[in-house]
Structure 1
Amino acid sequence: MIVTNQTEMPINPIFNPEGDDAIENRSIWFGNTTNLMQLV
């Protein structure tokens, strides 16, 4: 069976392209809000 009507997943970057690393904007990774990943 070939499925031709697929929808694409939305792009969700794993880093913050705007560089905003304020505490209130952090996501919880691994259960702790202090785990902020910065890829520079």
Structure 2
Amino acid sequence: MSKDRDDKIMLPDEVIISKIYFIRGQKVMIDRDLAELYEV
């Protein structure tokens, strides 16, 4: 893993919260949103 990937990037809470959905009473995040968040 490169040194650049170790740097932390802060995102506003609203960005992450907007990607959390309630499905059948559970909080979930869509895999595409998680991949974008973790840059994979």
* TM-score normalised by length of structure 2: 0.24
Q: Name the structure with the higher strand share.
A: 2
* TM-score normalised by length of structure 1: 0.24
Q: Name the structure with the higher helix share.
A: 2
Larger-Rg structure: 1
